[in-house]
Amino acid sequence: MDGKEISSDQVIAEMLEMGFEHANVVEALKAVGPSINSAVEFILTSARRSGLRASITSTNNSRSHMGNGMSLRKRDLTSTHSSSNVRQSSMLDHFQSTNKSTECKTDIVDGAPFNKLEVLPGSMSKHKEPFSDIDVDSNMHSGSYIVDSLQELDWEQKASKLLQKHFGFSSLKSFQKEALTAWVTHRDCIVLAATGSGKSLCFQIPALLTGKVVVVISPLISLMHDQCLKLARHGISACFLGSGQPDNTVEQKAMRGMYSIIYVCPETLLRLIKPLQKLAKSRGIALFAIDEVHCVSKWGHDFRPDYRRLSALRENFSTSKLEFLKFDIPLMALTATATNLVREDILKSLCMSKETKIVLTSFFRPNLRFFVKHSSTSRSSYGKDFQELIKIYGRKQKTDKKKNTFISEESQEVFNSSDASSISDTDSVSPYDLDDEQDDYVEGDLNVLHLKSTDGSIKGKELSVEYLENDIDVFQSVDDWDVACGEFCGQPPQKDWELSEIVDPPKKPEERLKLLKEPLEQGPTIIYVPTRKGTLSIAKYLCEFGVKAAAYNASLPKSHLRRVHKEFHENTLEVVVATVAFGMGIDKLNVRRIIHYGWPQSLEAYYQEAGRAGRDGKLADCILYAKLSRVPSLLPSRRSDEQLKQAYIMLSDCFRYGMNTSYCRAKTLVEYFGEDFCNQKCLICDVCVDGPPQMQNLKEEALTLLQAVAAHYGRSSDMDCLYDDIHFDTEERRLREKPSLKMVVRKIREQSQKFFTTDMLWWRGLARVMELKGYIREGDDKNHVQIKYLGPTELGLKFLNSSCEQALYVYPEADMLLAEKTRKPYSSFSDWGKGWADPEIRRQRLERMQHDRKPRMVKSPRKSRKRKANKVKPDLKTCRGRLAAKLSKHK
Ligand SMILES: Nc1ncnc2c1ncn2[C@@H]1O[C@H](COP(=O)(O)OP(=O)(O)OP(=O)(O)O)[C@@H](O)[C@H]1O
Ligand SMILES: [Mg+2]
């Protein structure tokens, strides 16, 4: 008996579910009685004895008997397969998950790592031998098995059963079905599905369906660890390999086929090609899944060079390389954030087949409410910005700091030792927010400046520790995780899914509108900040108000980080204030708010982080607090020239997202990823709720700006334009060929009565709008987040020249509105106001303002030298030559 009384019917039912044929089971029961173990043993040995012929016959019989799944058949099964042989691995899962045998009962210690595979049922022991010893039929290969067994079993039905049994879900989502259908038909597949939509199941199910191994390539040890832990809870054995794996026997065991799912980082995978080829021959590899596949692409937001080398998968696991394969082992690439460009790059870099199936789900998450709010994101704005959080989570009185601070003592020390004074306290819109030099530097909030090297990359030693999260794999070393044993036994599935109720997010507009009236349910908040210091400072602030908050960044002690993870998952922590190190794959259902406190570096990163909210389908908020008056800067990272350029483009897209006032936020986001958003609006973001601002006819302003630009390039004289009064003297033109926005606005203010009080910030917005309309272009060949040096376009010149009366109605953007709001009410009657009317006084004032200006950052001597060198007056001959060339070019 298998540890307890069990009837023949039960044994038959269990074994049928495991995939054995009815006839074989009945025969086995006749021979050994109602014992699953003995019956399995009997079938396996008799199959081996009879040269596997019998099982083929029965497979065919059962196929006709079951009569389903035939449409999936791609090729004839000419080889001999040992269904029993391959099903041994299903058995492994089965025993681990159902805990039916006495042996299993002793093996599985609740919550403890699974380290006693050696004492699994006797039938398994053959497969515990080193792979060189495995008795493998050379005709048995992963591909034909999949087709064979899945046809006979109706994979959809079987998958549903497994889903219910292991995960407690009633059905596969349609995109999961699509991805699995591609896999069943041996096709490569790219799965592009929203964050939290359930991509992992697409590669977990194949392991359960076939009993073969699924190899998952993942970028972070923490992510692998997290997933292994979850799988174990759902009764699926898994392990992760790589530098973070403390137990060196795990790798050998994995290569012998003892885990259903193996997580590896790309480097490890490349090292293990040979053993994996042997594994493909022995237990079989059902699938290679490349999770977070956007890491492959240089155009993505989280490029990892090692991911590019994963083309080795196609090279080494194809029919041309491995004779025993009948088709290439399928690749499944998964991500939540890939633009069209990134998708193309993935296909090419991984050498995916021409028939690759692209499974695309909507990126739209109807239960997420997006907001953008202006804030200086400095200490002085905490009170205003976190008022709501304190109201929700805070205890009644300001509490004893020490008692309630969820920052470990070590991190407290880090905080105390940091120079808090370096955190800017200003909340006002400064006329210097548009800093001419800003984009030449990589700078941050904390006055920490880092120069790029001449090749555009950033030297390692010059990187600030404040921002390094992108360059550090937070948990990549052995010490980082207290993993007593890096293997995860499939324990009997626990019904922990019942703890969190998952609802279908509202799809219909009326349902979404209803959300507006609903308060957010209870649940934790994650605040993402760009700097490590910021995490400490905000967490400390919140703790002082009794909020259970904790900081999380890569510099903090690992014990603290582990505690934060644990308490966050256990709902003990209310707010985690983190850098991007609190990273990919955080899968907690009830996160109610994701707050970004400072500009993210790309919309991809933003959407991925924001996507951690509301995975239970209930309403959740994604709020971006950013200093809208300031053009964001790139955080330091090692980048090639090409990557730097791309990084600027992505940051610029993100900046535009923040500046937008008229286009639904959700629509912007999903369209960014190439999706046609079928809804006009999400109805619940700030733009949809508040409505766009009133359109303004800015024709005069636009013409004035164009006129000033054209004048600089010497184009106004040959044109019949209305605004001929703005001119640059030739000296100015000679000294600086490219007119910066600042310079142009200064000219406009000086020479046009009407515009002398207008704010720089306002013109910045207009310049961006005009760039989008194609009237002006960036006149510099360097990278900028926002148009900086203005150049006219043909379309712009046409517009300038046209005598058409048509108005130019545009929606003012966020910076323009901000400028209007903070506009100083200069009265034309005040002395100050009158002074501005006088060109000489105005010139003096502007000059004084330039002088009074405090340096915003420590500028490196090297850069200053460069700038000085730029200012050296060129000789007359050179200037004339340049001007002549320019004019002839324009004519
Ligand atoms: N068929 C299903 N029915 C109901 N819930 C599901 C289903 N498939 C997956 N889920 C649940 O969806 C949640 C998210 O799953 P998963 O971590 O795989 O998401 P993901 O798409 O990989 O997200 P990310 O992009 O953040 O990695 C999990 O809690 C999972 O249990
Ligand atoms: Mg995932």
Q: Domain boundary at 313, 332, 360, which? A: 360
**Complex ipTM, two decimals?**
0.99
Per-residue model confidence (pLDDT) at position 750 = 83
Q: Give, using CA atoms, the residue closest to atom 8 of ligand 1.
A: 198
Closest ligand 1 atom, CA of 170? Answer: 3
Question: Which residue in this structure is represented by tokens 């994963």?
Answer: 310
Contact 201 CB / ligand 1 (< 6 Å): yes
My answer on whether 655 and 707 are in the same domain is no
Per the domain annotation, does 793 fall within a domain?
A: yes
My answer on whether 184 and 294 are in the same domain is yes
What is the distance in A from the centroid of ligand 1 to the CA of 511?
Answer: 23
Q: Tell me, what CATH number does 808's domain have?
A: 1.10.10
Per-residue model confidence (pLDDT) at position 51 = 38
**Residue 774, token pair as written in the block:** 């194609």
Closest ligand 1 atom, CA of 173? Answer: 1
**Strand intervals (E) in 218-312:** 238-241, 261-264, 285-290
One-letter-per-residue 3-state SS of 15-56: HHHHCCCHHHHHHHHHHHCCCHHHHHHHHHHHHHHCCCHHHH
Per-residue model confidence (pLDDT) at position 543 = 94
Contact 160 CB / ligand 1 (< 6 Å): no
Question: Which of 199, 584, 594 has the most ligand 1 atoms within 8 A of CB, as the residue to mutate?
Answer: 199
What is the distance in A from the centroid of ligand 2 to the CA of 143?
Answer: 25
Per the domain annotation, does 482 fall within a domain?
A: no
Q: Tell me, what CATH number does 26's domain have?
A: 1.10.8
Per-residue model confidence (pLDDT) at position 774 = 94
Per-residue model confidence (pLDDT) at position 822 = 73
751-797 pLDDT tens trace: 887 887 778 999 999 999 999 999 999 988 888 999 999 988 999 99
Per-residue model confidence (pLDDT) at position 396 = 53
My answer on whether 668 and 709 are in the same domain is no
698-716 pLDDT tens trace: 999 999 999 888 888 775 4
My answer on whether 752 and 674 are in the same domain is no
Per-residue model confidence (pLDDT) at position 372 = 98
What is the distance in A from the centroid of ligand 1 to the CA of 577?
Answer: 24
Contact 193 CB / ligand 1 (< 6 Å): yes
My answer on whether 636 and 706 are in the same domain is no
Per-residue model confidence (pLDDT) at position 348 = 94
- Domain span at residue 217? 153-360
Contact 204 CB / ligand 1 (< 6 Å): no
Q: Please check whether residue 534 is in contact with residue 445, taking contact to mean a CB–CB distance below 8 angstroms.
A: yes
Q: Give, using CA atoms, the residue closest to atom 11 of ligand 1.
A: 198
Q: Give, using CA atoms, the residue closest to atom 22 of ligand 1.
A: 199
Q: Which residues pair with 213 in a beta bridge?
A: 285
Per-residue model confidence (pLDDT) at position 24 = 74
Annotate 568-582 with DSSP letters as a single string. Answer: HHTT--SEEEE-TTS
What is the distance in A from the centroid of ligand 2 to the CA of 389?
Answer: 28
Q: Please check whether residue 105 is in contact with residue 252, taking contact to mean a CB–CB distance below 8 angstroms.
A: no
CA distance 27 to 23: 6
Q: Domain boundary at 802, 822, 842, which? A: 822
Which residues, by Cβ under 5 Å, contact ligand 2, an ion?
199
Q: Domain boundary at 360, 394, 421, which? A: 360
My answer on whether 748 and 630 are in the same domain is no
Per the domain annotation, does 710 fall within a domain?
A: yes
Residue 86: exposure state from Cβ atoms within 10 A (0-12, 13-18, ≥19): buried
My answer on whether 345 and 372 are in the same domain is no
Q: Provide the number of structural domains found in the chain.
A: 4
**For the chain, which residues score pLDDT lower than 50?**
1-4, 48-148, 152, 402-406, 408, 417-465, 468, 470-486, 493-499, 716-725, 825-830, 859, 864, 868-869, 871-873, 891
Q: Identify which ligand lies nearest to the alpha carbon of 198.
A: 1
Q: Give, using CA atoms, the residue closest to atom 25 of ligand 1.
A: 195
CA distance 161 to 138: 31
My answer on whether 543 and 630 are in the same domain is yes
Contact 336 CB / ligand 1 (< 6 Å): yes
Q: Tell me, what CATH number does 324's domain have?
A: 3.40.50.300
Per-residue model confidence (pLDDT) at position 828 = 39
Distance spanning both ends of the chain, measured CA to CA: 96
Q: Identify which ligand lies nearest to the alpha carbon of 193.
A: 1
Contact 587 CB / ligand 1 (< 6 Å): yes
Closest ligand 1 atom, CA of 172? Answer: 1
My answer on whether 191 and 174 are in the same domain is yes
My answer on whether 602 and 710 are in the same domain is no
Residue 459, amino acid = K
Per-residue model confidence (pLDDT) at position 46 = 64
My answer on whether 287 and 270 are in the same domain is yes
My answer on whether 649 and 705 are in the same domain is no
What is the distance in A from the centroid of ligand 2 to the CA of 261?
Answer: 15
**Residue 814, token pair as written in the block:** 């966020």
Contact 304 CB / ligand 1 (< 6 Å): no
